[in-house]
A and B are shown apart, each in its own frame.
Chain A
Amino acid sequence: EAQVTQNPRYLITVTGKKLTVTCSQNMNHEYMSWYRQDPGLGLRQIYYSMNVEVTDKGDVPEGYKVSRKEKRNFPLILESPSPNQTSLYFCASSIRAGENTEAFFGQGTRLTVV
């Protein structure tokens, strides 16, 4: 089954404790991205990757890092989480950037930073 898988689904952590949210897709997609979704603000892009070893900042990159060492994986790293990073996070992938194709989203990761 074609899918984007995020882990964990739920995470509660403390301020400053590094964490990684994993994202994996099995569709051989070149383009992957991370979004956060907050009430009243909608989906905002954090980082994206056009292909392996190619990543760039989205609209709200502060406090986040990503890597793309393999085509299928695109982990989101919070080196020192803060309470304002409490949010619902989504990973998405599509065949290529700039193509008129749909984005496939993961099931989401609800992160709480206390």
Chain B
Amino acid sequence: SQKIEQNSEALNIQEGKTATLTCNYTNYSPAYLQWYRQDPGRGPVFLLLIRENEKEKRKERLKVTFDTTLKQSLFHITASQPADSATYLCALSNYGGSQGNLIFGKGTKLSVKP
């Protein structure tokens, strides 16, 4: 069956360090992968999208990689700050799927300590 796994439920790091979150998937052929941020009780907010033919994407302190051979995406936050504390979700869309639906992982809760 199709599966998306975000390896850590929670990640605690010190301010200023780089946070690295992992998203693995099986039995998908995603056309693209997205990362979202979700604060408690609020809707997810889009951060970055990376296409299957892209290896890496950057936006300010954020970097996403996409390895279709390993079936994995890594999400990095450099120089992390307490304000980066949130739950981060990865989402896939099946390539060629008639639905084009976004399937979400369960998320990784990041806590950045001052």
Mark A residues whose CB is within 8 Å of B: 4, 31, 33, 35, 40-43, 45, 48, 56, 58, 88, 90, 92, 96-108, 110
CB <8 Å contact, B43 and A100 = no
CB <8 Å contact, A48 and B99 = yes
Interface members, chain B 33-82 (any A CB < 8 Å)? 34, 36, 41-46, 49, 51
CB <8 Å contact, A43 and B104 = yes
CB <8 Å contact, A106 and B43 = yes
CB <8 Å contact, A103 and B51 = no
CB <8 Å contact, A99 and B100 = yes
Number of inter-chain CB pairs below 8 Å: 64
- Please, which residue of chain A has its CB at the minimum distance from the CB of B44? A105
Closest 7 A/B residue pairs (Cβ): A98-B100, A105-B43, A97-B100, A42-B106, A102-B46, A43-B104, A100-B32
**In the complex, what residues of A have CB within 8 A of residue B36's CB?**
103
Give the interface residue-count category, chain B. 20 to 34
A40 CA to B93 CA in the complex, in Å? Answer: 21
- Please, which residue of chain B has its CB at the minimum distance from the CB of A4? B43
- Please, which residue of chain A has its CB at the minimum distance from the CB of B31? A100
Residue-wise interface mask of B (76-104) relative to A, using a CB-CB cutoff of 8 A (1 in contact, 0 not): 00000000000001010100011111111
